[in-house]
Chain A
Amino acid sequence: MVKPNRKLVQGTLDMLILKALCHGAQHGYGIARRIEQLAADALIVEEGSLYPALHRIEQQGWIKSKWKVSDKNQQARYYSLTAAGRKQLEQEEASWIRLSDAIRKVLVSA
């Protein structure tokens, strides 16, 4: 099963965004920072694809957004997980773990 590279990345980015919102609402910049933090800076989020991704998964109903005042007293758009999003995150996590296990098995055995 060969998926085009981009799609894989897109799916992965969606999952990372959902994970980043697991612990509370955050604006777009904050999501990028959190992902980098969680990955201990091993990942650099391509900012060009972050916002389209955010808007896309908002259309799909996994997150919702609201304009709020940030802690620095600025207007920002805050995103938060919906119930459907939480469920989606669990599913994705599970299948990702399964997938990486399978790949690791293949790589180790070869």
Chain B
Amino acid sequence: MNLLQVSINRIFALSRREELEDDINAELRFHLEMRAQENIERGMAPAEAVLSATRRFGNLNAVKDACRDIRGGGLLEVLRQDLRFALRILRKDRLFTLTAILALAFSIGLTAAVFSVANTVLFRPLPYDHPEQIMALWNRDSHFPERRYPFSYPDFKDIQAASKSFATLGAFMVSNFVMNADSGEASWVRAAHVTPNVFPLLGVEPTLGRTFLESENGPGNRVVVISYDLWQRAFRGGADVIGKSLTLDEQKYEIVGVMPRNFRFPFENQPAEIWTTTSTDAEAHYNGAPPLSTERAAHYMNLVGRLKPGAKRSEAEAELQAAVLRAAAKYPKTNDLFDGANVTPLLNDLTDRAKPVLLTLLAAAFCVLAVACVNITNLRLARATTRQKEIAIRSALGAGSGRILRQFLAESLLIALAVGFLAVLVSVAANVLFVALLPPQFPRSFELFPDWRLLAVGGILTLISSILVGLAPAWHSARSYPAPVLNDCSFVCTETAKGRRIRSLLVVVEIVLSFMLLASTYLLVRNLWLMKHLNPGFNSDNLFTAQLSFPDERDPKIFTRIEDFYRHLRERVSKLPGVESSSAASVLPLTGLAPISQFQLVGEKEKLPQPRTLLSIVTPNYFNTMAIPLIKGRDFTESDRRSSKLVVIVNQSFVRKFLPNQNPLGRVLKSRMSDDMNGPTEKEIVGVVGDVKIRDLTTEGEPEIYFPYAQSIIFSDMTLIARTKLSPNAILPDIRRLVAEADKGVALTRPCLMSEYLSSAVAQPRLDMTVMSIFATMVVILTGLGVYGLMAYVVGQRQHEIGIRFALGAQKGVVFKLIMKQGLRLVVWALGLGIVCTLLLVQVLRPFLSATGGGEFAAVCWVTLFLSIIGWLACWLPARRAAQLDPLVALGQRPAQLGH
């Protein structure tokens, strides 16, 4: 028989143990009967014959064992025994087993989920060819350091010509189209305008048809490539889609290609479904103005490039910076806004702002896992010492230290299996929960669903934790000596001073980690609460909003069309029952999307570089609708038209920054909108309004200029705003009707309440707070258990000593105080250390606590109080039990119950 046959036999032997047993018994019994028979034939009496046969055979059981060993399951059989025994032991001490499994499973599950998310967002390569070579290029302005600016088309051409580090350099711009279905229904579709070299740059081939030719980048070309999803949705995946046409913004575009499924460019949460060339902007803009693509002042093109093999990012960046500065010097009127540039790998460009959050959450998750492992190890060590008697007996009966070690490992294995199974469930649930809490602008959230990687991480963590947790007690127990334990010499301490110090140190570590996590949670909760109560500068109750998208028309009559549309619409919407007032604006507060304008105050020395502010274009009644206070002067009215005097309204921060201690009304400023043909025009300040939070809830004091819509129609897409008396959502059908009546070509999208914008503004802090509080809760529970476990163990160890003290006349109170002192000393040390660590930690947390300064002192005080109570409680219970010990039990004269 070869090895395979032997192994198979062994496995069969495992499953048919009874049969094997019978087999061996039968064979040996036969032998004995034959021998007895022979003895009888020789003349012995039957009883003596049997006896003689048995005696001659020797130790029947030993032979049976030997045969069973040879033919039986071998190693597997032993393992099976170990596992069965381990199961029994674990079942006996249910509380410990359950605690261990739950604690480990939850910590591993949470850690795996956070790890998997962090890994996907920060490290998974983008789905393009050699994605590490693809870079994003940006203009920078040191006055607004956190902003990145796109380029103008002429700038792009210059950079492309001068570039040495890039193999390919392409440009793209995101916009939207109003797509008309055959039924005439208008819907809104997101699109990207790309230079034809972008698709080859990304290295992704279309699944049907082709991408753009260089010749198609000129005016008059109306070609599109569509996404897989759009192909399925609008054309049912038919293979004849190439050559068909789509109506976008009331123009026909020919479909030349379809991109593969899961292709996404730009790599944003909201995918573009249509790609077209940049030529569509190379056409006459409104009013016979020169095409945008020749406008050096129109910075709206995002640049993306692929590095030459061997080229370095830093070189490319230096090159770009030189080019930007050259352009600023050569074209000061349009380019002096920029004084720097960035070249960033595309992946980092997308994900860097999520890095601090994810790394911190990961650190916290590992803290929790560490605490759980430490805890379980401590508890197991304690239990191992109480099981000494059992180990000693087994050792005396002949179990080698290898066998005993295997026993403990078998217990660890069982726990690991249970933990692994549960951890998988927890990690999937945690992943789903995490994604649900994510703020909408969180990068790559569309890729965050549970997959095999999550399970793999969970599996590895389970393995590592189980090894760590199982090793220490196994090693410790295998080294114990049976004799003293069996002799019940319980004053022989098998625990060394070093061992006790290590265990105490572990508990201190637990308490310190708890402290830090609790303090972080406190600060994050406070942050969220404060943020929710920050004044956004307007009233967001019952405020309905919706985006209106106009088809881009080249018709010079577009101005009147748009102006009429908005005027009629506002009139009719205001007349709807249930609507208090309505208005429209180019951009909403809290979205951070306000564009920037340069201006110059007339009557002052010309400043270079020109000062900049945020700008917003609004219709009359905007401030009233939003409940933004009008501090001085007047609102825009219907009489502020294109032909009348040009006016603007500024906010208080503007006055504070640029016109301190002066009357702003009547002052004139010069600024240039991209439809001002002849350079900057003069506009008079006619009003001052209160500040609103434009970028996010916490950035204050940003100056802003408001322009009347009628005098600056460059944004045909505006946001309609209406304040309703009661339920804002109820007016949506009416609004749709009115919009369609006013102009059939206009698409209405993204109807939502202003309060939802407010809610997503706090989404990030809410996510941080929720995850942290889950971690903190777990850690506090574990630490409480840890301290309790340690103290209970200490009481067990000192039992004999306590018995002696009682015997010598100590009162219960003395014993109680003794134990308490030992425990509390540990807790106090740990809290002290915790305070120090937390104060250091707070520096790390600062970027998350945007709404607060201070609060650290309060955090430290509250957490110290809370943990002291928990620590005190965890010491009190064992101390009380020690004080109530029966002295005879403590002295070992009367046996206590085994196991506790």
Interface residues of A, Cβ cutoff 8 Å to B: 27-29, 32, 46-48, 51-52, 55-56, 58-61, 74-77
Cβ proximity bits B73-86 to A, threshold 8 Å, 1 near / 0 not: 00000000000000
Interface residue tally for chain B (C-beta within 8 Å): 23
Note all chain B residues with C-beta closer than 8 A to A32.
Answer: 31
Cβ < 8 Å to A, chain B residues 15-35: 23, 26-28, 30-31, 33-35
Question: Separation in Å of the B714 CB from the closest CB of chain A?
Answer: 91
Instruction: Knowing that A27-B30, A60-B1 touch, tell me 8 more A-B residue pairs with CB under 8 angstroms.
Output: A28-B27, A29-B31, A32-B31, A47-B57, A55-B67, A58-B1, A59-B1, A77-B30
A29-B30, A29-B34, A74-B30 known; A51-B63 Cβ under 8 A: yes
Report Cα–Cα, A47/B59, bound state, in Å. 10
Report Cα–Cα, A46/B34, bound state, in Å. 16
Note all chain B residues with C-beta closer than 8 A to A46.
Answer: 58
Please, could you name 29 A-B residue pairs with CB atoms under 8 Å apart, sorted by A?
A28-B27, A28-B30, A28-B31, A32-B31, A47-B31, A47-B58, A48-B57, A48-B58, A48-B59, A48-B62, A48-B63, A51-B31, A51-B63, A51-B66, A52-B67, A55-B67, A55-B70, A55-B71, A56-B70, A59-B1, A59-B6, A59-B70, A59-B71, A61-B2, A75-B30, A76-B30, A77-B26, A77-B27, A77-B30
Note all chain A residues with C-beta closer than 8 A to B28.
Answer: 51
Among the interface residues A32, A47, A74, which one has the most CB atoms of the partner chain B within 10 A?
A: A47
Question: Separation in Å of the A96 CB from the closest CB of chain B?
Answer: 24
Question: Separation in Å of the A13 CB from the closest CB of chain B?
Answer: 13
Query: B56 at interface (Cβ–Cβ under 8 A)?
Result: yes
Residue ID in chain B nearest A31 by CB atoms: B31
Question: Separation in Å of the A80 CB from the closest CB of chain B?
Answer: 15
Among the interface residues B2, B30, B56, which one has the most CB atoms of the partner chain A within 10 A?
A: B30
Q: Are B67 and A51 in contact (CB under 8 A)?
A: yes
Report Cα–Cα, A58/B67, bound state, in Å. 11
Report Cα–Cα, A105/B63, bound state, in Å. 38
Grouping DSSP codes into helix (H, G, I), strand (E, B) and loop, the B interface class, with mixed when no group exceeds half, is: helix
Residue ID in chain A nearest B5 by CB atoms: A61
A29-B35, A48-B57 known; A75-B62 Cβ under 8 A: no
Cβ proximity bits B46-75 to A, threshold 8 Å, 1 near / 0 not: 000000000011110011001100110000
Note all chain B residues with C-beta closer than 8 A to A60.
Answer: 1
Interface residues of B, Cβ cutoff 8 Å to A: 1-2, 6, 9, 23, 26-28, 30-31, 33-35, 56-59, 62-63, 66-67, 70-71
Report Cα–Cα, A29/B29, bound state, in Å. 10
Task: Pick the 7 closest A-B CB pairs, nearest first.
Answer: A48-B58, A52-B66, A29-B34, A55-B70, A61-B1, A29-B31, A47-B57
Note all chain A residues with C-beta closer than 8 A to B23.
Answer: 77
Note all chain A residues with C-beta closer than 8 A to B6.
Answer: 59
Question: Separation in Å of the A73 CB from the closest CB of chain B?
Answer: 12
Note all chain B residues with C-beta closer than 8 A to A74.
Answer: 30, 33
Residue ID in chain A nearest B62 by CB atoms: A48
A47-B56, A75-B26 known; A52-B70 Cβ under 8 A: yes
Report Cα–Cα, A17/B30, bound state, in Å. 18
Note all chain A residues with C-beta closer than 8 A to B33.
Answer: 74
Report Cα–Cα, A55/B30, bound state, in Å. 16
Note all chain A residues with C-beta closer than 8 A to B1.
Answer: 58-61
Note all chain B residues with C-beta closer than 8 A to A76.
Answer: 27, 30
Question: Separation in Å of the B27 CB from the closest CB of chain A?
Answer: 5
Note all chain A residues with C-beta closer than 8 A to B31.
Answer: 28-29, 32, 47, 51
Report Cα–Cα, A47/B54, bound state, in Å. 10
Q: Are B27 and A51 in contact (CB under 8 A)?
A: yes
Note all chain A residues with C-beta closer than 8 A to B26.
Answer: 75, 77
Question: Separation in Å of the A19 CB from the closest CB of chain B?
Answer: 20
Residue ID in chain A nearest B31 by CB atoms: A29
Residue ID in chain A nearest B53 by CB atoms: A47
Report Cα–Cα, A40/B372, bound state, in Å. 73
Report Cα–Cα, A77/B63, bound state, in Å. 17
Question: Separation in Å of the B887 CB from the closest CB of chain A?
Answer: 54
Residue ID in chain B nearest A27 by CB atoms: B30
Residue ID in chain A nearest B10 by CB atoms: A59
Residue ID in chain B nearest A55 by CB atoms: B70
Report Cα–Cα, A47/B70, bound state, in Å. 16
Residue ID in chain A nearest B35 by CB atoms: A29
Report Cα–Cα, A52/B71, bound state, in Å. 9
Question: Separation in Å of the A47 CB from the closest CB of chain B?
Answer: 5
Residue ID in chain B nearest A77 by CB atoms: B27
